[in-house]
């Protein structure tokens, strides 16, 4: 088993009592925008550029320190697939999960900062769209929110691994949000992550000031298409969030049958290179 290294934790208290906010960066070791923005906030607080008015802020810039040093996604297994408490923690990430879950359990509000492999605008995933999580998602500064991911997989008869940070936080009734700030190497993802933290601090009243966020397009996942034959092909070079109209031809099957849109909506995560038996593309609708 890999050597164990504990994540560093910074805790700050406001002038008055209040809720506690927990922020995670680098749950995945190849994602740098979380560590960058959280360390910047730590400097802001320590130099008193930012004054915490109330409550407690718990910051973990790098949740997976060994993977982060190597800029690898993980050391032994994906921390965001094993995020629960383990009695037999037989991997580095399970050991990390045992200490990080405790922090989530003890907070009131939880923000998890990520970036993506693919080129992308900032987006957030809302697995249980209750009122407080939806209003939290609107202030993050993402361009899109995506709801209905777990239901879609349940409908398709596939289990979705639910041992991720959001599932854990939701199970413990936390106010929580996850943001994908853009592509791993996109400089802008660091700015997005920093503004997300500032917005969160302002939204919940930890610091003074107005939230700066853009208009959020809220998407509900409707349908998943699995690639069934390597000759199945998309009718055009669809980009993520491209819109289509009811009746548009979206893709063609190996036997010549066309996949026709049954509603107006948007294409999500089209992947022409998907292997047979894996996710090819999703369809969603924009909530009005």
Query: Which residues contact Zn ion (rule: CB under 5 A)?
Result: 28, 114
Which residue lies nearer to Zn ion by CB, 28 or 138?
A: 28
Q: Which two tokens stand for residue 231?
A: 């000759």
Long-range contacts of residues 204-211, Cβ cutoff 8 Å, at least 24 apart: 204/19, 204/21, 204/55, 204/109, 205/18, 205/53, 205/54, 205/55, 206/14, 206/18, 206/21, 206/52, 206/53, 206/54, 206/55, 206/57, 207/50, 207/51, 207/52, 207/53, 208/51, 208/53, 211/139
Residue 196: strand, helix, or coil: helix
Report, in Å, the least distance between residue 182 CB and Zn ion: 12
Indicate the residue whose CB is closest to Zn ion.
Answer: 114
Report, in Å, the least distance between residue 31 CB and Zn ion: 5
Which residue lies nearer to Zn ion by CB, 56 or 165?
A: 165
Report, in Å, the least distance between residue 30 CB and Zn ion: 8
Q: For residue 276, give the nearest of 243, 228, 214 by alpha carbon.
A: 228
Report, in Å, the least distance between residue 48 CB and Zn ion: 32
Return the half-sphere exposure (C-beta side, CA atoms, 13 A cut-off) of residue 181: 28
187-203 and 33-46 helices, crossing angle to 10°: 50
Report, in Å, the least distance between residue 114 CB and Zn ion: 3
Which residue lies nearer to Zn ion by CB, 41 or 181?
A: 181
Which residue lies nearer to Zn ion by CB, 28 or 190?
A: 28
Which residue lies nearer to Zn ion by CB, 50 or 103?
A: 103
């Amino acid at each position: 088993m890999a050597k164990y290294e504990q994540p560093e934790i910074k805790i700050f208290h406001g002038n008055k009592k209040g809720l506690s906010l927990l922020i995670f960066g680098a749950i995945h070791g190849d994602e740098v925008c979380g560590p960058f923005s959280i360390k910047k906030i730590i400097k802001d607080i320590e130099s008193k550029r930012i004054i915490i008015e109330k409550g407690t802020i718990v910051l973990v810039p790098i949740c997976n320190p060994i993977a982060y040093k190597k800029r690898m996604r993980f050391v032994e297994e994906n921390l965001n697939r094993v995020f629960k408490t383990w009695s037999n923690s037989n991997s580095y990430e399970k050991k990390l999960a045992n200490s990080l879950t405790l922090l989530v359990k003890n907070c009131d509000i939880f923000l998890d900062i990520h970036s993506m492999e693919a080129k992308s605008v900032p987006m957030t995933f809302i697995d249980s769209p209750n009122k407080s999580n939806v209003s939290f998602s609107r202030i993050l500064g993402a361009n899109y929110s995506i709801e209905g991911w777990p239901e879609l997989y349940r409908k398709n008869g596939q289990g979705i691994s639910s041992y991720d940070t959001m599932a854990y936080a939701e199970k413990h009734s936390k106010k929580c949000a996850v943001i994908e700030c853009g592509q791993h190497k996109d400089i802008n993802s660091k700015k997005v992550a920093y503004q997300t933290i500032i917005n969160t601090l302002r939204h919940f009243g930890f610091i003074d000031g107005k939230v700066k966020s853009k208009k959020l397009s809220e998407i509900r996942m409707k349908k998943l298409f699995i690639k069934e034959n390597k000759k199945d092909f998309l009718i055009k070079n669809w980009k993520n969030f491209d819109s289509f109209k009811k009746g548009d031809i979206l893709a063609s099957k190996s036997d010549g049958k066309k996949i026709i849109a049954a509603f107006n909506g948007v294409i999500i995560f089209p992947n022409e290179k998907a292997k047979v038996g894996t996710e090819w593309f999703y369809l969603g609708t924009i909530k009005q």
